[in-house]
Structure 1
Amino acid sequence: MGVEATSTAQQAIAPVETPEPSPWTIEDSEALYRIDGWGDPYFSINAAGHVVVSPKGDRGGSLDLYELVEGLKQRNIHLPFVIRFSDILADRLERLNGCFSQAITRYNYPGSYQGVFPVKCNQHRQLVEDLVHFGQPFQFGLEAGSKPELLIALALLKTPNSLLICNGYKDREYIETAILARRLGKQTIVVLEQLEEVDLVIKAHQQLGVTPVVGVRAKLSAKGEGRWATSTGDGAKFGLTIPEIVHVIERLESVNLLSSLQLLHFHVGSQISSISVIKDAIREASQIYVQLAKSGADMRYLDVGGGLGVDYDGSKTNFYASKNYNMQNYANDIVAEVKEACEQAKVKSPVLVSESGRAIASHQSVLIFDVLGTSEVMTQDTVAAQSSDHLIIRNLWETYQLIQLENYQECYHDAIQFKEEAISLFNFGYLSLSQRAKAEQLYWACCQKILPILQKEEYVPDDLETLRMNMASIYYVNLSVFQSAPDSWAIDQLFPIMPLHRLNEQPTRQGTLADLTCDSDGKFTQFIDLRDVKSLLDLHSLKPGEPYYLGLFLGGAYQEIMGNFHNLFGDTNAVHIALTPKGYHVKQVVKGDTMGDVLSYVEYDREDLVESIRQQTESALEDGTISISESQRLLNSYKESLDRYTYLSVES
């Protein structure tokens, strides 16, 4: 489209900035970035215009996030880094258990609640250890979805009577390990998700002499919604159909193991945005549960799986990045529906189990990164067309002069047409290079004149949205989208992104964020908004010599473990922070990957690499193309680079 990228350091006329009709306040920033919606009760903005984190929610105590970042940098912890707030993790666990406790009391439910955390959401040792520790008062357990996750859970989960739910594909080794763990006092429950797993359990029991506890995962007919709608129904990846569940009952009964069947499990998908989906699923599952109990199985647990959503955009709607219910609504509907079904069937009410991972882990993690520079549309002083100029240039000049509020849309389309005609004339040799340059210069001058008009409009016509995107800034940020926010790239997941400071200043730029990778998909181009999704993020212009920090929030589930090594950008530094009466305590720093680390992941040997460079410098010395001091400087720099962070070091 004729846009030229240029560094902010280059001499060019700055893009037209949004007018400032009145002084900007932090309330304006709160509304713009919707922090009151998605951030409550953990994130807000203080009078200094900085993001504040309250790790214990509304129970008191807060930290200035900008000052925290500055303090961590002084400790030689380089950006980008993830900050994990263990107090938020504890608060999320307490809130979830509190909601179920309140629902049980409200409906006089005769059973109890005992949750588990699905390790797949975030397998990092420090986080899982914190979860086990904070979950002890609630006998909170873990869910494993693979053999490695089972090994983690067996080693870390030592809370008496806490559950260890064993999901996922299973082989003989997986099942034997889970069953034998009962000898250690572990409350392992092997959930049957494939028919062949029934015989594996029976064989393990016969060989080991240990009585297992098993569950069945049902494929519900209740429909899911959104991105994970296929988690239920006949085409679901996991689970047993009703005829298959009947077969399991008959098979277990034939070997006198029907009493081992004690749990029903179902899952209708992650990030359920509508409470009606949860109601439909729990209604069907409750009926399956009572029928299993009537069949003679020793039913004790009903596992409602995951799905408890996170309000990423703060809209409190059934939009896929939000949810139209709160945690208490969720608990109330589950408890009420199960109680009613069990009372009607005269079946003992089960222990309720949930596998809420996203709702527990998302809030505790904040990804902090800095801006390296920007690119803008390069414009120069508008030069009036002369009578000697080509007609197409004179037409563009006339269009520029005519632009006003009443006709800006018509003028925009005229400018596009004239620019395209200028390119066509150039391609056929009828326009010189300097004349084409003048034509494109006038085209961008038209766009520059129209943009302030658009920014005052409440509604931007679809045909002018392209102009806003073309005139937008690109902010280059010090991270890899593929490593730190893979769901943003892979499934268009929305995350709240906003500046950590200067929130008492009006942001006068709109732009997208481009990461460090050499990939056109390495960017953020979708941002939360009250109405659906917006393409541009409101940002501040950079100040020479001053850092500009951005934060990506609610990314504590899945993102930290699912990242990949595109362009060999590795894991970021991670810092664990605990709130104290005097401020905060840095509990632990987990160093991110060095260049040597990521090279070893793809089978490069450090010593071989260094030796290769040494031999090349020796050859260059013999050829006289490098001096000894230069060769040593290169070799030392190469060695030192292997021990350095994969991300860029920004000089302050």
Structure 2
Amino acid sequence: MPTLTRSPWTLRDSEKLYRISGWGDPYFRINAAGHVEVTPQGMQQQEPGIDLYQLVTDLVARGLQLPLLIRFPEIVADRIGRICGSFQQAIERFGYPNVYRGVYPVKVNQQRHLVEEVVNHGRAYHFGLEAGSKPELLIALALLDTPEALLVCNGYKDRDFIETALLAQRLGRTPIIVLERLQELELVLEAADKLGIDPILGVRAKLSAQGIGRWGTSAGDRAKFGLTATDILQVVERLRKAGKLHCLRLLHYHIGSQISMVSVHGRAVREASQIYIELVKLGAPMGYLDIGGGLGIDYDGSQSTNHSSQSYSLEDYAATVVQTVLTTLEPHGIQPPILVTESGRALMSHQSVLVFDVQDINAASPYPMPTQLTSDAEVIQKLNQLYYEIQPDSLTADYRRCQELKDAALRQFTEGSLSLQERAQVERLFWNCSDKICTLAYEQHQAGHPVSVDLLDLDEMLASIYYGNFSLFQSLPDSWAIDQVFPIMPIHRLDQEPRQWATLADLTCDSDGKINRFFGDDGQITSVLPLHDPDGEPYLLGVFLGGAYQEILGDLHNLFGDTNAVHIRSRPGGYRVSQVIKGDTISEVLSWVQYNSEDLAETLHHATEAALQQGQISLSEARSLQRHFEDNLRAYTYLH
């Protein structure tokens, strides 16, 4: 790997390389020891933060195995406070004559401990919950006891869902049933008549304004959810006919997740405000405008319009929403509504860190150049000569020539004119030539000279593979499924220069179980991650901003289960462990695919008895096998 800098390495160099000052603010930074430090209450906290490397070391000493998912509930509390505070600030600034009521979409992370944190910390802000399925509705109904908090019911609904939501009113809850399809209205009217309860209704509108990037199609004519203008008018007329128009209280829309530009929010809010005006003019009392999710976070730390970034602040977002609604409704003399948002990603992403250890490395280092060639094959002689002739001003041509010679050698081997030993010499020489070309190309690029993209892409081919003790499919499914890029970096040794280019591979027996998309120091996507050589010592990497969606989307590929998880709270001078959630055992994951551990153990016992009778296994070997089998059933699914 080319040296990243020729001057002594500093903590500032690591900050720039891994961009932690961008995506980590205000919760993650590098401390004087060269370790990642966590400040769960934001940078404003007076006490030193929590040293993440020391924390992991302590947790392992307590008997918790890696990988570890470390949650910081105080970050959830801080995120709620920041979002609500930004809206309150905008309401006061513009003289908005109503209030803000946030709701947390339970689908983002349904873990009980986290939903309870939202309810507890959100109580002061009347923070509510959003449910998109019957299981989520039951969670929200049981846990949400906050006065004035909303229970927003989205998603497709059946009669049981609707009746449960209606009956929640009897407990003093405020369930708002948002109509996603016209067919749901009849179910609501029938259930309301049966129970004698007037529903609190909302409609989800399909806006013409759309988000950008991966989730841009969440709105528009072909969106999965929502009602067209024609549908909304039919809802109004059906409610009027049923004498229930007074039940229509909320307008909802969602234009997609991770919106990187505040102007996109502004366009959507303005369009929705016009629909709101028309609904009021048609006789609906209304009262709530739910602008859905879409509040982004800055994954790459660039504060830009990149799809993985966010070019606006929480204050910009709140001000845009408040001012747009106010200025759109004011000329019509309509009372501005209670503003509702469903910001899940922005609320949950920062609160957890996945830490795993590197188990092994397939190192990519140049072979020593031979002092004397052991073959007089022409292709070997030419590759050897090419290595010494490579020049900075002819890199593209040199690499093309290098590839041609390698291809020629492979043809000759296939035809039988090159031996296996000669093929190995060709591979070593090709590797050395490629490494030299890549190094010179990198130096040219760093000096500001134009370099072929093909040459810059050589870094992945020459990168070492770091094998991590984790499952991509269990812990970071979006990395595999939708090419989501998360910040990944060492949590220690940040006072030292990383001299290895690396890609990451997980424990699964799947070629897709790898990570080769990272954020470079310029904010662009790169195929390699600079890392240190472990030198035989434990080497720990952290994956950040993965607290939204990843835990619940994870699957059991190769039967790797949930990781160990801990909840950490800060205290003066340190931290305390408030919760330990043990990861899945092998027995548990086997039961999820219909295996009974006792039956498996009994089957193995019969097999060993039969082998003993036939003299295929000794008694001590049989006992050892049985012991290993039973111990492993109780063990963590990941490696020691």
> 2:173 pairs with 186, 189, 210, which one?
186
The one-letter amino acid paired with 1:541 is D
Q: Which residue of 1 aligns with 2:344?
A: 357
User: 1:626 aligns to what?
Assistant: 617
Distance in 1 (alpha carbons) for counterparts of 2:2 and 2:241: 77
Deviates more, 1:427-436 or 1:457-466: 457-466
Determine the structure 2 residue equivalent to 1:382: 369
Change (3 A) 1:547 1:177: same
Contact 1:213 1:260 in 2 (8 A): yes
Change (3 A) 1:605 1:584: same
**CA distance, structure 2, for counterparts of residue 322 and residue 248 of structure 1:** 38
From 530, 537, 549, the equivalent of 2:529 is 537
2:323 pairs with one of 336, 349, 372: 336
**Residue matched to 2:544:** 553
Structure 1 position 44 matched with structure 2 position 29: yes
Contact 1:425 1:431 (8 Å CA) reproduced: yes
User: Shift of residue 388 of structure 1?
Assistant: 6.6
SS of residue matched to 1:517: coil
Residues 160-201 of structure 1 show CA distances to partners (whole Å, capped at 9, x for unaligned) of: 121000000000000000001100101101001100111111
Amino acid at match of 1:118: P
User: Structure 2: how far apart are the matches of 1:221 and 1:262?
Assistant: 22
Contact 1:376 1:471 in 2 (8 A): no
| Contact in 2 for aligned 1:483/1:563 (Cα 8 Å) | yes
Q: Deviations over 1:305-336 (max 9, x none)?
A: 00000110011111110111111111001100
- How far residue 586 of structure 1 moved from its aligned partner, in angstroms, is 0.5
**Identity over aligned residues, as a percent?**
54
Query: Could you state the TM-score of these two structures normalised by the residue count of structure 1?
Result: 0.95
Hey, what does 2:306 align to over in structure 1?
319
> Which letter does structure 2 place at the counterpart of 1:141?
G
| One-letter amino acid matched to 2:201 | V
Per-residue deviation, residues 97-151 of structure 1 (Å, max 9, x unmatched): 0000000000000011011000000000000001000000000000000000000
Q: Is the 8 A contact 2:159 2:187 kept in 1?
A: yes
Task: Report the counterpart of residue 495 of structure 1 in structure 2.
Answer: 486
How many Å separate the matches in 2 of 1:306 and 1:339?
A: 20
In 1, the alpha carbon distance for the partners of 2:620 and 2:375 equals 60
Q: Which residue identity is paired with 1:91?
A: D
Kept in 2, the 8 Å contact 1:509–1:541? The answer is yes
- Are positions 1:148 and 2:135 aligned together? yes
- Equivalence for 2:3: 18
1:173 aligns with 2:173: no
Instruction: Give me the whole-angstrom Cα distance separating, in 2, the residues matched to 1:402 and 1:513.
Output: 33
* SS of match in other structure, 1:215: strand
Q: Give the RMSD, CA atoms, in angstroms.
A: 1.4
> How much has 1:384 moved relative to structure 2?
4.7
Tell me if the contact between 1:393 and 1:438 (Cα under 8 Å) persists in the aligned partners.
yes
Give the counterpart of 1:263 among 245, 250, 255: 250
User: Using the alignment, how far apart are the partners of 1:428 and 1:22 within structure 2?
Assistant: 50
- Aligned counterpart in structure 2 of residue 30 of structure 1, from 1, 4, 15: 15
Which one of 151, 158, 167 corresponds to residue 164 of structure 1?
A: 151
- Aligned match of 1:453 in 440, 446, 455? 440
Q: In the superposition, relative to structure 1, how do residues 510 and 209 fare at CA in structure 2: closer, same or farther (>3 Å)?
A: same
Aligned residue for 2:231? 244
Query: Shift of residue 587 of structure 1?
Result: 0.6
Q: How far apart in 1 are the matches of 2:286 and 2:182? A: 19
Q: Work out the CA distance in 1 between the residues paired with 2:526 and 2:419.
A: 40
Bigger shift: 199-208 or 443-452? 443-452
What is the identity, as a one-letter code, of the residue corresponding to 2:7?
Answer: S
1:200 maps to amino acid: L
SS in structure 2 of the partner of residue 371 of structure 1: strand
Q: Which moved more, 1:35-44 or 1:445-454?
A: 445-454
Instruction: Describe the SS at the equivalent of 1:114.
Output: strand
Q: Does 1:482 align with 2:446?
A: no
Q: 1:232 to 1:595 in 2, by over 3 A?
A: same
- Unpaired runs of 5+ residues, structure 1, are 1-15
- In 1, distance between residues paired with 2:325 and 2:90? 12
Q: Structure 2: how far apart are the matches of 1:373 and 1:404?
A: 35
**Where does residue 442 of structure 1 map in the other structure?**
429
Structure 1 counterpart of 2:430, which letter? Answer: Y
One-letter amino acid matched to 1:539: L
- SS where residue 192 of structure 2 aligns? helix
Match of residue 118 from structure 1: 105
Deviations 1:542-587 (A, max 9, x none): 121x211100000000001110110000001110011111311101
Q: Which residue of 1 aligns with 2:92?
A: 105
Specify the SS of the correspondent of 1:372.
strand
Give, in whole Å, the separation in 1 of the partners of 2:44 and 2:69: 24
Provide the residue aligned with 1:11 in structure 2.
none
Q: How far does the alpha carbon of each residue in 1:395-448 deviate from its partner, in whole angstroms, 9 at most, with x for none?
A: 112112212333343322222111111111121122222222222222222223
Q: Assess, with a 3 A threshold, how the Cα gap between structure 1 residues 51 and 378 changes in structure 2: closer, same or farther.
A: closer
Q: TM-score, normalised by structure 2?
A: 0.97
**Aligned residue in 2 for 1:90:** 77
Range with bigger deviation, 401-410 or 77-86: 401-410
1 CA distance for matches of 2:117 and 2:523? 37
- Contact 1:385–1:397 (Cα < 8 Å) also in 2: no
Q: CA deviation at 1:464?
A: 1.5
Secondary structure of the 1:276 match is helix
Counterpart of 1:84, as a letter, is R
- Report the counterpart of residue 512 of structure 1 in structure 2: 503
- CA apart distance, 1:454: 3.0
Report how far residue 223 of structure 1 moved: 2.1
Where 2:101 maps in the other structure, the secondary structure is coil
8 Å Cα contact 1:120/1:558 also seen in 2: yes
Name the residue aligned to 1:462. Answer: 453
Paired amino acid for 1:225: I
1:303 corresponds, among 286, 290, 293, to: 290
Distance 1:497 1:266 in 2: 33
The residue type equivalent to 1:221 in the other structure is S
Report what 2:563 is aligned to: 572
- Work out which of the residue numbers 375, 394, 407 in structure 1 matches 2:394: 407
CA contact (8 A) 1:593 1:645 kept: yes
- Give the direction of change, closer, same or farther, for the CA distance of 1:388–1:626 in structure 2 (3 Å limit): closer
One-letter amino acid of the structure 1 residue matched with residue 14 of structure 2:
S
| Pick aligned residue for 1:277 from 250, 259, 264 | 264
> Which of these residues, 590, 607, 613, is aligned with residue 604 of structure 2?
613
Moved more, 452-461 or 291-300: 452-461
| Preserved CA contact (<8 Å) 2:442 2:456 | no
Give the 3 Å change call, closer, same or farther, for CA 307–420 of structure 1 in structure 2: same
Q: Is the 8 A contact 1:18 1:455 kept in 2?
A: no
Name the SS of the counterpart of 2:617 in structure 1: coil
Unaligned runs of 5+ in 2: none
Contact residue 119 and residue 128 of structure 1 kept, 8 A = yes
Q: Does 1:373 align with 2:364?
A: no
Three-state SS of the structure 2 residue aligned to 1:407 is helix
Q: Give the corresponding residue for 1:9.
A: none
Work out whether residues 302 and 309 of structure 2, in 8 Å CA contact, stay in contact via their aligned partners in 1. yes
Partner residue, 1:222: 209
Tell me the equivalent position of 1:644. Answer: 635
8 A contact 1:596–1:642 mirrored in 2:
yes
Secondary structure in structure 2 of the residue aligned to 1:418: helix
Q: Which amino acid in structure 1 is aligned with residue 16 of structure 2?
A: A
Range 481-490 or range 381-390, more displaced: 381-390
* Contact 1:263 1:299 survives alignment (8 Å): yes
SS at 1:143's partner residue? strand
Residues 237-277 of structure 1 deviation map (CA, whole Å, 9 limit, x = unaligned) = 11101111111011111111110100000000111111121
Mapped partners of 2:375, 2:124: distance in 1? 85
- Report the CA distance between 1:600 and its aligned residue: 0.4
Deviation at 1:38, TM superposition (A): 0.5
Show structure 1 runs of 4+ deviating over 6 A.
Answer: none
| Letter of the 1:289 counterpart | Y
Supply the distance in 1 between the matched residues of 2:83 and 2:454 (Cα, whole angstroms): 46
Give the Cα separation in 1 of the matches to 2:206 and 2:214: 17
